């Protein structure tokens, strides 16, 4: 269906266009065909016309890191250090999950993401073999989804470990069958050097990203230092894994040499500020990383270590964290954060999205700003980052398809999703030990 959006403030995220007041956007099939003034837009006709007066139109958010099954484990293991949290919330439950459990969790997580204005999710699934349940949920919900096929080989809790040959065979099978699958070593300390390199060869052969948790906690890093005498990004640099296809999640515990390696290789990192604060992992040096050429993206991380998948909260938290950390409110601006949430994610994934621009994928959201928290704002980008909440998200369009309108999910039965997820979570949590 062709869609014509008329009126509204268009936050294009395109450096040349900036913010257009009283603009219009024309979508044909899954692409943006025209961006301009309302009066120019009115010369087009389309099957569906959306009146956006008083609303903001902007690119959908790209949630670069998630563990969707964790919607079933919210607040289990709250207020614990990482290792205790893993022992309480993750290890006793995740290996026991069925295909249907993973699917039910994914539907809830995707619904929550859509309602928060997310149009692309990168899911890192691990702990059970139901990767195809995640891929089916992407397909059924029509969100743009990527799957990092997570794996543990060494050091980790025994039931989670897999043999290198089995991992490679399964990974290769998934990558042949699906274009949106990439390798996802859970952390360099949990995978042998041989397998880290073999997974990179596979990623390159298929032209995919390479995705891993990177320098999340000092505990993980020290496990690797004990084994290799090197920290995370040092090892990955020496193994020739860092490049513009590399995506390292968290990137908290980095020394200066590691930041240089990530910058010189034009690598990508994913900032998960709420999760890092929740588990007290540390502060990712995103200002320094950006200055040195790293493409820094943004994500919620799994809801068991954040509480909720709220991209507005994530943007605001990112801004506040670095302002206070550097004792400087100007060190990071609303626009920098919104770029992390849109343009940078698209760049890391190599998709033509993250901007409202002709020829780009029609992944965009419409915010209703006629609300108590946003009725008047001087600066539209500041309003999105500091004032808006998921309640402002009115319409979500992915690949030219309307997934939410008037805050109602168009393809999904929300009540049904809630009921199934509730029952699944009750059963899983009571089955612990
Ligand atoms: Zn994670």
Burial class (CB in 10 A: 0-12, 13-18, 19+), 11: buried
pLDDT given at position 304: 83
- 196 has pLDDT over 90: yes
- 433 has pLDDT over 80: no
**What's the Cα-to-Cα distance from 110 to each of 62, 104, 117, 270, 388, rounded to whole Å?**
12, 10, 11, 19, 20
For the chain, the first-to-last Cα distance in angstroms comes to 51
Rg (CA), the chain: 21
Assign 85 a pLDDT band (cuts: 50, 70, 90).
confident
pLDDT given at position 351: 98
Question: Distance between CA atoms of 20 and 139, rounded to whole angstroms?
Answer: 33
Ligand 1 centroid, distance to 32 Cα (angstroms): 32
If one counts every other C-beta atom within 10 angstroms of the C-beta of residue 92, the result is 18
pLDDT given at position 91: 85
Question: Distance between CA atoms of 193 and 369, rounded to whole angstroms?
Answer: 51
- 110 has pLDDT over 70: yes
Ligand 1 centroid, distance to 398 Cα (angstroms): 24
Helices 99-115, 414-430: axis angle to 10 degrees equals 130
pLDDT tens, 57-84?
999 999 999 999 999 999 888 888 877 8
pLDDT given at position 323: 98
Helices 193-206, 164-177: axis angle to 10 degrees equals 10
Ligand 1 centroid, distance to 107 Cα (angstroms): 19
Closest CA to 186 of 216, 226, 145, 163: 216
Ligand 1 centroid, distance to 400 Cα (angstroms): 29
Ligand 1 centroid, distance to 325 Cα (angstroms): 23
Ligand 1 centroid, distance to 69 Cα (angstroms): 12
3-state helix, strand, coil in the chain (%, to 5): 40, 20, 35
The DSSP bridge partners found for residue 20 are: 10
Percent of the chain's residues with pLDDT above 90: 91
Q: Mean pLDDT throughout 111-124?
A: 98
- 412 has pLDDT over 70: yes
Ligand 1 centroid, distance to 124 Cα (angstroms): 7
- 273 has pLDDT over 90: yes
Q: Mean pLDDT throughout 114-118?
A: 98
- 368 has pLDDT over 90: yes
Q: Mean pLDDT throughout 411-426?
A: 97
Ligand 1 centroid, distance to 321 Cα (angstroms): 19
Assign 89 a pLDDT band (cuts: 50, 70, 90).
confident
Q: Mean pLDDT throughout 367-391?
A: 96
pLDDT tens, 139-178?
999 999 999 999 999 998 888 999 999 999 999 999 999 9
pLDDT given at position 136: 98
Tokens of 415: 């009540």
pLDDT given at position 81: 80
Residue count (the chain): 433
Q: What angle do CA 309, 250, 338 make, to 5 degrees?
A: 55
Ligand 1 centroid, distance to 52 Cα (angstroms): 36
**What's the Cα-to-Cα distance from 71 to each of 51, 126, 256, rounded to whole Å?**
34, 14, 36
User: What is the phi/psi pair of residue 269, to 5°?
Assistant: -125, 160
pLDDT tens, 234-250?
999 999 999 999 999 99
In sign, the C-alpha dihedral spanning 324, 327, 331, 334 is positive
Find how far residue 404's CA is from the centre of its chain: 19
pLDDT, averaged across the chain: 96
Ligand 1 centroid, distance to 149 Cα (angstroms): 12
Closest CA to 318 of 332, 335, 329: 332
Assign 90 a pLDDT band (cuts: 50, 70, 90).
confident
User: What is the phi/psi pair of residue 155, to 5°?
Assistant: 70, -40
Tokens of 34: 């025209």
Q: Residue 228: helix, strand or coil by DSSP?
A: helix
Ligand 1 centroid, distance to 204 Cα (angstroms): 23
Ligand 1 centroid, distance to 275 Cα (angstroms): 9
Ligand 1 centroid, distance to 66 Cα (angstroms): 6
Q: Which secondary structure element, helix H or strand E, spans residue 62, and what is its range?
A: strand 61-66
pLDDT tens, 324-360?
999 999 999 999 999 999 999 999 999 999 999 999 9
Q: Residue 333: CB partners within 8 Å, gap ≥ 6?
A: 319
Asked if 164 contacts 152 with a C-beta cutoff of 8 angstroms, the reply is: no
pLDDT given at position 84: 83
């Amino acid at each position: 269906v062709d869609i014509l959006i008329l009126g509204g403030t268009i936050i294009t995220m395109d450096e040349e266009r900036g913010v257009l007041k009283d603009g219009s956007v024309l979508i044909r099939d899954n692409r943006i065909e025209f961006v301009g003034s309302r009066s120019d837009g009115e010369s087009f006709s389309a099957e569906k016309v959306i009146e956006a007066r008083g609303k903001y139109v902007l690119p959908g958010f790209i949630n670069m890191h998630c563990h969707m099954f964790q919607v079933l484990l919210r607040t289990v293991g709250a207020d614990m250090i990482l290792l205790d949290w893993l022992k309480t919330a993750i290890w006793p439950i995740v290996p026991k999950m069925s295909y249907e459990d993973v699917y039910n969790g994914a539907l809830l997580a995707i619904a929550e993401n859509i309602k928060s204005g997310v149009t692309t999710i990168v899911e890192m699934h691990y702990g059970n073999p139901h990767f195809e349940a995640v891929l089916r949920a992407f397909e059924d919900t029509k969100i743009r989804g990527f799957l990092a096929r997570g794996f543990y080989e060494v050091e980790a809790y025994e039931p989670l470990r897999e043999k290198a040959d089995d991992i490679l065979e399964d990974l290769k099978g998934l990558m042949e069958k699906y274009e949106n699958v990439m390798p996802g070593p859970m952390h360099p300390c949990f995978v042998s050097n041989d397998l880290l390199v073999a997974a990179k060869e596979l990623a390159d052969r298929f032209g995919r990203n390479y995705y891993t948790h990177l320098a999340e906690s000092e505990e993980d890093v020290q496990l690797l230092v004990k084994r290799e005498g090197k920290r995370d990004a040092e090892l990955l640099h020496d193994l020739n894994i860092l490049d513009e296809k590399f995506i390292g999640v968290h990137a908290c515990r980095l020394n200066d040499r590691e930041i240089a390696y990530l910058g010189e290789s034009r690598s990508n990192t994913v900032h998960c500020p709420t999760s890092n604060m929740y588990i007290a992992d540390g502060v990712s040096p995103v200002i320094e990383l950006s200055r040195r050429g790293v493409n820094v993206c943004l994500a919620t991380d799994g809801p068991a270590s954040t509480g909720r998948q709220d991209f507005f909260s994530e943007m605001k938290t990112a801004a506040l964290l670095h302002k206070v950390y550097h004792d400087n409110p100007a060190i990071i601006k609303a626009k920098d954060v919104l770029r992390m949430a849109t343009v940078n994610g698209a760049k890391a994934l190599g998709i033509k999205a993250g901007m409202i621009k002709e020829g780009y994928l029609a992944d965009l959201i419409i915010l209703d700003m006629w609300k108590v928290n946003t009725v008047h704002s001087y600066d539209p980008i500041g309003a999105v980052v500091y004032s808006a909440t998921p309640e402002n998200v009115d319409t979500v369009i992915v690949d030219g398809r309307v997934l939410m309108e008037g805050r109602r999910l168009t393809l999904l039965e929300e009540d049904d999703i809630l009921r199934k997820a509730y029952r699944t979570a009750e059963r899983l949590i009571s089955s612990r030990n």
